Amino acid sequence: MTAPLRVAVAGLGTVGAGVLQILESRGRPIAARCGRPLVVTAVSARDRHKSRPVDVSTLRWFDDPVAMAADPEVDVVLELIGGSEGVAKAVTEAAIGAGHHVITANKALLAVHGAELARAAEAAGVFLAYEAAVAGGIPIIKGLREGLAANDISRVYGILNGTSNYILTSMRETGREFDEVLAEAQTLGYAEADPGFDIDGVDAAHKLAILTALAFGCEVDFDGVYIEGIREISALDIAFANELGYRIKLLGIATQEEDGIEQRVHPCLVPEGTPIAHVDGVFNAVVAEGDSVGRFLAEGRGAGAGPTASAVVADLIDIARGNCLPTFAIPATELRRSPALTSERHVGSQYIRVMVVDRPGVIADIAAALRDCAISVEALLQHGRSTTEAVPVVITTHETTGAAMDKALRQIADLDTVLEPPRRIRIESL
């Protein structure tokens, strides 16, 4: 066997401790696969005296993870702290600066600084690996960078946030409202005390921006992602979606067009018959469409100590084997800058729900607003009648532009008989 690969671990939380556990329990078979042992030589976290699920007392401890990242007795630094700025970025830059490979699970860091970090890693001749940053245990980074490397990818999309998927699944299964299900998810540990990143679509957008760069060979463009979360989804929408033959999923979707790249994260109505409609609970799924392979789907656990650590250790094994590839599959200096296409331009069918006072002419007024914006109706549902209380009117449309629907919704919202802002959910034909 050749010399051990010396590993320094910055961050000993859920992911960091999970990595140490795998290396401890599966050290021998992993060494056999690498042709050399992987040896953790240094660790760093905020609190040295914290009780942890792994024993780190015999390892070299650094209070300062940035100093550890630059230590000469290290070959690979794992950045498992988190956050797009501050210490995580400093650790990554220090490791690259010292000529060490870096493995990170940090999607926020890569979504915001991916292009510059990839260029720095390439200039230093080191590998910046991030399998764990997107869809946890699903090996989609390796899949796109290696397994599907022969393909021209036209679209990549998926369920990229387990917390949101858990909430939407639970709402559908129990008929409960968003707030109640979110509170339960927090109690069960499926949602953070501050759930904003997950339920407002930001976490999924971080991951989508990374997938886009890798799939299409362009610079990571997080600012180019249109983002809408799931807070506004109601039990009523889920019931109507069911009735119409759809399920509601928070999807991240990136499409390569002739004049640019469209990146969107928002709730979607997806047809009941599609495989992704049945990816439930905390599971993630990623679909890539390539010219040769056709449609490829991978499903698995997107978070948690085991799945995420599995991905980090896979990157370690690659480095130990010498399988070090460009961060985004092509040299960082050749990544394109593609124009971001806006959601106004997106063409697709849409679902709208309007809460109205049920007076004669209401439907005609809504239909007129749609007609004025050249939007044609596919189906209309209205259940229940009340002249005193709001009743829902649900309409699905044929394909239209986002801009036309924005205009129609403004007109509908201004009608006297409409009692609250209309809700819109895009329908995806997948």
Ligand X SMILES: NC(=O)c1ccc[n+]([C@@H]2O[C@H](COP(=O)([O-])OP(=O)(O)OC[C@H]3O[C@@H](n4cnc5c(N)ncnc54)[C@H](OP(=O)(O)O)[C@@H]3O)[C@@H](O)[C@H]2O)c1
Per DSSP, which regions of 179-245 are E strands?
A: 225-227
| Catalytic option among 107, 142, 207, 249 | 207
CA dist., res. 426 & res. 348, Å (int): 7
Q: Which of 16, 139, 143, 402 binds ligand X (CB under 6 A)?
A: 16
DSSP-assigned letters across all residues of 308-323: HHHHHHHHHHHHHHT-
Neighbours of 99 (CB within 10 A): 13
Classify the phi-psi angles of 125: left when phi > 0, otherwise alpha if psi is within -120 to 50, otherwise beta: left
Q: Which of 41, 44, 327, 417 binds ligand X (CB under 6 A)?
A: 44
- For ligand X, the nearest residue by Cβ is 13
Q: Which of 19, 40, 65, 249 binds ligand X (CB under 6 A)?
A: 65
Closest CA to 163 of 232, 231, 238: 231
Tell me the backbone φ, ψ of residue 379, rounded to 5 degrees. Answer: -145, 155
CA dist., res. 72 & res. 87, Å (int): 19
50 binds ligand X (CB under 6 A): yes
Per DSSP, which regions of 30-161 are E strands?
A: 38-44, 60-62, 76-79, 101-104, 128-129, 153-159
Classify the phi-psi angles of 82: left when phi > 0, otherwise alpha if psi is within -120 to 50, otherwise beta: left
Render the burial of 33-55: b for 16+ CB within 10 Å, e for the rest.
Answer: ebebbbebbbbbbeeeeeebebe
341 binds ligand X (CB under 6 A): no
Structural tokens at position 430: 């997948």
Q: Which of 13, 147, 271, 306 binds ligand X (CB under 6 A)?
A: 13
Nearer to ligand X, 47 or 259 (CB): 47
Q: Are 42 and 66 in contact (CB under 8 A)?
A: no
Nearer to ligand X, 204 or 352 (CB): 204
DSSP-assigned letters across all residues of 414-428: TSTTB-SPPEEEEE-
How many residues touch ligand X under the rule CB under 6 A: the total is: 24
Please list every residue from 75 through 114 that binds ligand X, using CB under 6 A: 80-82, 87, 105-107
Nearer to ligand X, 86 or 175 (CB): 86
| CB of residue 40 to ligand X, shortest distance in Å | 14
Nearer to ligand X, 63 or 416 (CB): 63
12 binds ligand X (CB under 6 A): yes
252 binds ligand X (CB under 6 A): no
Nearer to ligand X, 13 or 260 (CB): 13
**Residue span binding ligand X (CB under 6 A) among the ranges 19-27, 39-47, 67-75, 143-151:** 39-47
Nearer to ligand X, 15 or 115 (CB): 15
Tell me, what DSSP letter sits at residue 145?
I
Q: Which of 26, 33, 46, 336 binds ligand X (CB under 6 A)?
A: 46
| CB of residue 107 to ligand X, shortest distance in Å | 6
User: Is 107 considered catalytic here?
Assistant: no
| CB of residue 419 to ligand X, shortest distance in Å | 40
Residues in the chain, total: 430
| CB of residue 390 to ligand X, shortest distance in Å | 41
Tokens 């959910």 sit on residue? 425
| CB of residue 392 to ligand X, shortest distance in Å | 37
Tokens 């004049």 sit on residue? 259
| CB of residue 112 to ligand X, shortest distance in Å | 12
Please list every residue from 258 through 317 that binds ligand X, using CB under 6 A: 303-304, 308
Please list every residue from 159 through 198 that binds ligand X, using CB under 6 A: none
132 binds ligand X (CB under 6 A): yes
Neighbours of 105 (CB within 10 A): 30
| CB of residue 206 to ligand X, shortest distance in Å | 9
Neighbours of 420 (CB within 10 A): 11
**Residue span binding ligand X (CB under 6 A) among the ranges 7-15, 319-327, 371-379, 386-394:** 7-15
Q: What Rg do the C-alpha atoms of the chain give, in angstroms?
A: 24
Nearer to ligand X, 50 or 295 (CB): 50
Q: Which of 136, 158, 267, 300 binds ligand X (CB under 6 A)?
A: 136
CA dist., res. 326 & res. 156, Å (int): 20
Nearer to ligand X, 165 or 396 (CB): 165
Interface contacts to ligand X, rule CB under 6 A: 11-16, 44-47, 50, 65, 80-82, 87, 105-107, 132, 136, 303-304, 308
Active site positions, annotated: 207
